[in-house]
Structure 1
C-alpha cells in the first residue's frame, strides 16, 4: 500500500491513474450511448439544439437554457443532419418528429454524436474533481474521488445521454470550486473566473440559480473569523469584486442568448410563477424598469417554476401522491446509491465528526461541501414535481469529495478495522456497473436490484424510454400480429416497423403486450398510437398487468406479456373474489 501511495504521489503516476479511470468511464459510456434508444426528453433536446444553430432562435423550447443543447448539436454542423424545418410548437416532441422524418436512416448516429459531447463533459468534470480533491486532501484522496465518479452507475447513466443533468452537475462542481478559490484568494482574477463559470451554469439549467446563495454562504463560511486568511481587503474592494462577479455572470448569460430580448421593461412580461408574478404587481411607475436578462431566459424560468409548483403525480414505494413526498429524494438515494458508496458515506461522516478540529477536516470545509447537498436535496424535497434522481445529480461530486479523505486514513497498522471497511467498500463498487448498458435502471441489492426497482421508483429512475431498440429486436425474433403496446417515451413506436394497438384499459384481453414499467405502475401518460396521434392513459389504467407474470423483460424497463383466455379468467375470478370479500355479510 505504501508503494502504491508513493507512486500516486508522483505527478506522472497520479495523472496516469486518473486518465485510466476517466478513459474507462468514457468507453463504457460510449457503449451505453450506442446501445440505448433515444430517451424521453433527449428526443427533442438535440433537434432544438440544431435549430438554435441554424436559426439563432431560442424560443423553440424555453424549459431548458440553450448551452448544452447547442454543445450536443455542435458535431451535427459537420454532418448532413437536417432539422426538418418544423413549425413552432407547444409540444417539443414535434421537433423530434421533424428531425426523425428528415434523417430517417442517420438519426441514431446523430443522437450518439450528441451523447458523446456529454461524455466529454463527464471527463472534464472528473478532471476538475481530481484537481480539487488533490488540493484539498492529497493525491490518494483525489484518486478515490475520481474512482467514485467513474464507478457510479448514476453518473454513467446520465453521462451517456444528451440531456443537461450531467452537465449541471459538472457546472455546480466548477462554480463552487471557483468560488472556493475566490473566497480564499480574494482576487480580481478569481472573481472574474467565478462570474464566467456561474454564467455558463445559468445557461445550462435553471437549477443553477441556487449557486448564487451557495457562493455567498461559501464566502462567509471560509472568511468570517478565519485566522488562516491573512490578507486584509477593504470592504469597498470586496463589494467591487462581487459586483464584477455578478456583472460577468450576467454578461455571459445574455451572450448565451445572443442578447435577444435583454433589458425589456417589466410591463412587457406577464409572469405566472409565484416568484416572478410579484414583479407584475409592482406600481406602474416601476413597471418601466428594464430587466437585464434575455426574454427567453425569463419566460423559460417562469414557465419552469410554474410547472414545478403545480400538482403532479409522484410515485414512491407503490404509492401515488399529487403533492410529492418530502422523503422522496432521501429514499431515492437509499435505493439507487451503491451500497459501497453508502458505507463510505457512513465511515466518512464518523471521521468528519471525529476529526473536525484538524486542519485537513475543518468545519469550514465541511460546511462548503455540505451546503450544495443540503440545499439541493432540501428544495427538491419540497417540490410537487419529483421525477428522478437526476434532479439532485449535482450533489454527487460533493458527496465524493466528502468521502475522499478516507483514502488518507488507510493504514493497516493504525486503523486496521477502518482500512478493511474502506477497502471492501471500494472493491465492491465496480460490481455496480455489471448491468451495463442499463445504468439508468440501476438499483442496489437491498432495494431488489433493477428487476424490482419499479416497485420503489419509476420514470427516469428506471424507465425513460431507453429500451425501444430491444423491443424492436424482440419483435423481429418473435413476430406477433398487432401486439398491444404502451410505451413510455417520445420517439414514435411506429419506427419499430410493426403495427400495434393500444392495450385495453382497466381490464385484460388475450394477446401479446409490451408495457413500459412506468405505465405498469400506473403513471398517467399520453402514449403514441400507430398513426402518431396521442391516447391519454389515466392513473393505473394498465395496472391490471401487475397481476400477471411477464414472459420477457427487456432491459428492465419494458415487460412483455402473453395473456391467454385462461389468464384473463384467473384475473376476473380474482377480482370477483376480492369484491365478494369486501361486501358486508348478511
Structure 2
C-alpha cells in the first residue's frame, strides 16, 4: 500500500518514540524493583571517587565514561561522605571501600543506586534511537522493518537487564554502535563534521570499556575497504590515522587530563594490566551443568542460543540470506557484519565465561542485520503472518518475565535455564530484597526461621535479612546443616550457590555444599534466581556402608554429611559386592564410578544417589547413596528367588545371570568369625568349570538380618552355577553345594 513520504516519516517517528518510551519505562521499573547486584557497589564507588577526587584514584580494569556520567548526576544530590576520609581508603581496594561507603547510615543507598541506573537506562534509550535511525536508512524507510526492529529492541530481555543495572555494559554497547554508525555515515558522504563526529565516538568507545580498543583494527579495515571509492589506499589510511588523536584526546579528557610525570592517563594503563591478569588467572564458571576452572569457546554460542528470543534467533539465521540478497550493498553491510563477528570471535577466544553481557556490543549489529530480511519476507502473506505472530509471542514472553529480565531463557529450555548457564546470565544477587521479604513472611506465618544461602557483597541487613547464611555457618564450622541429608525446614538458595560458583569468588568454599538440592524440585522461585525448597523431614537410617579397600571418608566425616551419629559402619568391595546391613534404611559412601553393575541387576529399585562431591580441599571425589527400602524388594524382576536351604551362617535367597556375569543374593542368619568366601563354579557342557569365587563383604562384619549380593564374572557364559559358602583357609564347605540353572 502506497504511503506518502511525510506520512511514513511521521509514522516512523511515532513508532520510535513509542518503543523508546516502552524500553525506558520497563528498564526504570526493573531498576526500582531489583536489589543491588554484585558489581554495582564497585561501580558506584568509582563514580563517587571520581566525582570527589577528579581522578580514577582506585585501581580498576574499567574506564571512566560511565563513572563520569553517573558522577555528574550524583553531584546534584546532597553531599556524600568523603571517600578519602574512609578508614578503608588507604587500601585502594574497591570492594573493601564500597563495603564501608555504600552501606553507611548517612548514605541514601537506594537513591544513589536508582540514579546510577537511571543514567544507564538513558544510554539504553540512545542505543535504541541509533538502531532505529540506521535501520530506517538501510531499509529505505520500510515501516514494517523499522517496526520489527523497534519491537524487538523495546522488549529485548538482555538489553533491558543490562540497562536496569549500574554496569559498563550498556555504555560499551552504545558507544560501539555509535562509533561504527558515525564511521559509516562519514564514508557515505565524507566531510569534516562527520569525520570529527566519528573521532569523538571512537574516543567515547575507548572510554566506555577496555574492549573498545578492538574498534581500532575494525575501523581501519572498514576504511581500507573503501579504497575503490576514494582512491589510493594510503589516503584512507591517513583519514583513519588522523582520527586517532581526536579519539585519544576525548579519552584523556574523560580521565580529566590526568598525568603522572610525563605519562598521560596512568589509570588506563593500570586497567589494562589488571584486565590481562584477570584473563590469565581465569575463574570458576558454570556451563552445561558443570563447574569448570577454565572457560569454553562453546559458551558464547550456547549463551546466544539460549538467551535470545526465538524470533530474534530466526532473524539471526537469516543473516546469510540478507548478505546474499543485498550483496550489491556489501560495503554498507560490512559495517554491521564485521564488528559483530570480530567481537564475538574475540569474546569466544578469550573464554571469559561470565555471561551474555560480554557479547552485548555485538547484538545491536546482528539485530539490524537480521531485520533487513523483513522487506523480502513481508511481501509473502504466510511470512507476514509468521512475523506478526512471532512478535506477539515475543512480547508476551518478555512481559511475562518482567521485571526478571536477567533470568530470561527462551523456550528451548523453558524454566530449566539454570541447568545450562549461571553467573550474570541468571543470578547476580538481584533478588535479595525478595529473599528478605520472604524470610520475614515465613517467620511471621510459621514462627520458624528460613534457612538461606546468599554469598553476595550486598549488606543483607539493608533489606532486613538477619542471621548467618548456611554458607557462612559452614565456613565458620558452626553449621548443623547436613549437606547429604538436610534437616527438615524451609530453604532458600540462590542459583550461584546452588550451581557451585557462588556470587563472590572464594565465598562459597565448598562448591557442592548444596548438591542434595540440585536433585530436588523447588516449590517456587523468587525472581527466577532464588529457589525455595521444603524439606518435610530428614531421612532416617541406622548404618553407613563404605566401599573398600580404599575408604573415602572416615566415620566422623561420613556422619557429619548425613547429620546422624552412632551409626553402624561396614566396609565392602562395591565392584564385586553390595550390602544391605540390618535390612533397614541407610547410606553408602562410594566412588563416582564402578558400581554400574548393580543398576543392571536392581533396575528401578537400585539405591538412590542423593549427593555427589567433586574433589577439593574438603574431600575426594565420592557419592552418597541412600537405601530407603527392604532388601527383599531388591529381588524384583531382575533376580530369581531361591527357596532352598543351604545351611551355614548365610542363606541363599536369589540369583541372576546375564551372559558371563552371575550374582547370588544372600541373607545373613548368624554372626560368624570364620574366614568365609562364596564358591562360584560355572559349568558349561563337558568343559572344565570356570572359577570366580569371592566375597566382598567380610564375614567378621556379619550380623543377623544383613543381606548382600555377590557378583561373579567369568571368562565365558555357562548354564549352571555351583555355589555355597566355604572357609577359604581350610577350604572346607560351610554350606551347599547349591546348583543354580539359568532360566
Give the TM-score category using the shorter length: 0.7 to 0.9
Q: RMSD between aligned alpha carbons?
A: 2.8
Q: Report what 2:408 is aligned to.
A: 442
Q: Report what 2:464 is aligned to.
A: 497
Deviations 1:26-64 (A, max 9, x none): 111111000000111112211220121111121324221
Q: Report what 2:23 is aligned to.
A: 25
Query: Hey, what's the Cα distance between the residues in 2 that align with 1:198 and 1:580?
Result: 53
Q: Report what 1:272 is aligned to.
A: none
Q: Report what 1:576 is aligned to.
A: 588
Query: Hey, what's the Cα distance between the residues in 2 that align with 1:402 and 1:189?
Result: 27
Q: Report what 2:429 is aligned to.
A: 465
1:430 is the counterpart of 2:390: no
CA distance 1:492–1:104, change in 2 (3 Å): same
| Contact kept in structure 2, 1:259 and 1:294, CA below 8 Å | yes
Q: Report what 1:190 is aligned to.
A: 194
2:32 maps to which of 21, 24, 34:
34
- Match runs of 1:8-19 below 5 Å: 10-19=8-17
Query: Hey, what's the Cα distance between the residues in 2 that align with 1:356 and 1:429?
Result: 27
Query: Hey, what's the Cα distance between the residues in 2 that align with 1:316 and 1:535?
Result: 19
Q: Report what 2:528 is aligned to.
A: 556
Deviations 1:85-133 (A, max 9, x none): 2314354233332333335672112211111111111111111112212
| Contact kept in structure 1, 2:200 and 2:247, CA below 8 Å | yes
Q: Report what 1:344 is aligned to.
A: 315
- Match runs of 1:174-189 below 5 Å: 174-189=178-193
Query: Hey, what's the Cα distance between the residues in 2 that align with 1:411 and 1:437?
Result: 32
1:487 maps to which of 431, 454, 471:
454
Q: Secondary structure at the match of 1:500?
A: coil
Q: Secondary structure at the match of 1:559?
A: strand
Query: Hey, what's the Cα distance between the residues in 2 that align with 1:569 and 1:198?
Result: 67
CA drift at 1:84: 5.5
CA distance 1:124–1:395, change in 2 (3 Å): same
1:421 is the counterpart of 2:365: no
Query: Hey, what's the Cα distance between the residues in 1 that align with 2:238 and 2:588?
Result: 75
Query: Hey, what's the Cα distance between the residues in 2 that align with 1:478 and 1:246?
Result: 60
More moved, 342-351 vs 30-39: 342-351
Uncovered stretches (5+) of structure 2, i.e. residues with no partner: 475-482, 543-560, 563-584, 596-695, 697-709, 712-743
2:441 maps to which of 468, 477, 497:
477
Q: Report what 1:392 is aligned to.
A: 359
Query: Hey, what's the Cα distance between the residues in 2 that align with 1:476 and 1:409?
Result: 56
CA drift at 1:382: 1.6
Query: Hey, what's the Cα distance between the residues in 1 that align with 2:29 and 2:40?
Result: 17
Query: Hey, what's the Cα distance between the residues in 2 that align with 1:348 and 1:235?
Result: 29
Q: Report what 1:409 is aligned to.
A: 376
CA drift at 1:159: 0.8
Deviations 1:381-430 (A, max 9, x none): 12242100000101111011102223322444xx2333333333333221
- Match runs of 1:229-308 below 5 Å: 229=229, 231-232=230-231, 238-261=236-259, 264=262, 293-308=264-279
CA drift at 1:76: 1.8
CA distance 1:526–1:402, change in 2 (3 Å): closer
1:164 is the counterpart of 2:168: yes
More moved, 190-199 vs 16-25: 190-199
Q: Report what 2:495 is aligned to.
A: 517
More moved, 304-313 vs 328-337: 304-313
CA distance 1:569–1:402, change in 2 (3 Å): farther
Query: Hey, what's the Cα distance between the residues in 2 that align with 1:416 and 1:347?
Result: 18
Query: Hey, what's the Cα distance between the residues in 2 that align with 1:81 and 1:491?
Result: 22
CA distance 1:74–1:509, change in 2 (3 Å): same
Query: Hey, what's the Cα distance between the residues in 1 that align with 2:40 and 2:318?
Result: 37
Q: Report what 1:357 is aligned to.
A: 327
CA distance 1:88–1:453, change in 2 (3 Å): farther
CA distance 1:579–1:51, change in 2 (3 Å): same
Query: Hey, what's the Cα distance between the residues in 1 that align with 2:540 and 2:66?
Result: 48
Query: Hey, what's the Cα distance between the residues in 2 that align with 1:315 and 1:441?
Result: 15
Uncovered stretches (5+) of structure 1, i.e. residues with no partner: 265-290, 528-533
CA distance 1:64–1:514, change in 2 (3 Å): same
Deviations 1:157-190 (A, max 9, x none): 1111111111111111000011112333343333
Query: Hey, what's the Cα distance between the residues in 1 that align with 2:540 and 2:466?
Result: 23
| Contact kept in structure 1, 2:30 and 2:402, CA below 8 Å | yes
CA drift at 1:317: 1.0
Q: Secondary structure at the match of 1:377?
A: helix
Normalised TM-score (structure 1): 0.85
Q: Secondary structure at the match of 1:133?
A: helix
Deviations 1:225-246 (A, max 9, x none): 3xxx3x55x7675454333200
CA distance 1:319–1:7, change in 2 (3 Å): farther
| Contact kept in structure 1, 2:439 and 2:449, CA below 8 Å | no
Q: Secondary structure at the match of 2:102?
A: helix
Q: Report what 1:96 is aligned to.
A: 98
Deviations 1:491-530 (A, max 9, x none): 1223343432232655444244321101101115658xxx
Q: Report what 2:292 is aligned to.
A: 321
CA distance 1:50–1:103, change in 2 (3 Å): farther
1:542 maps to which of 491, 499, 514:
514
Normalised TM-score (structure 2): 0.67
Instruction: Decide which structure has greater strand share.
Output: 2
| Contact kept in structure 1, 2:15 and 2:150, CA below 8 Å | no
Instruction: Decide which structure has greater helix share.
Output: 1
Q: Secondary structure at the match of 2:166?
A: coil
CA drift at 1:438: 0.2
| Contact kept in structure 2, 1:344 and 1:425, CA below 8 Å | no
More moved, 203-212 vs 343-352: 343-352
Query: Hey, what's the Cα distance between the residues in 1 that align with 2:59 and 2:79?
Result: 20
| Contact kept in structure 2, 1:76 and 1:110, CA below 8 Å | yes
Query: Hey, what's the Cα distance between the residues in 2 that align with 1:574 and 1:167?
Result: 56
CA distance 1:568–1:308, change in 2 (3 Å): farther
1:334 is the counterpart of 2:305: yes
CA distance 1:33–1:568, change in 2 (3 Å): farther
Q: Report what 2:618 is aligned to.
A: none
Query: Hey, what's the Cα distance between the residues in 2 that align with 1:328 and 1:304?
Result: 20
2:147 maps to which of 121, 143, 146:
143
Query: Hey, what's the Cα distance between the residues in 2 that align with 1:322 and 1:498?
Result: 32
Query: Hey, what's the Cα distance between the residues in 2 that align with 1:557 and 1:92?
Result: 26
Query: Hey, what's the Cα distance between the residues in 2 that align with 1:438 and 1:58?
Result: 33
| Contact kept in structure 2, 1:369 and 1:402, CA below 8 Å | yes
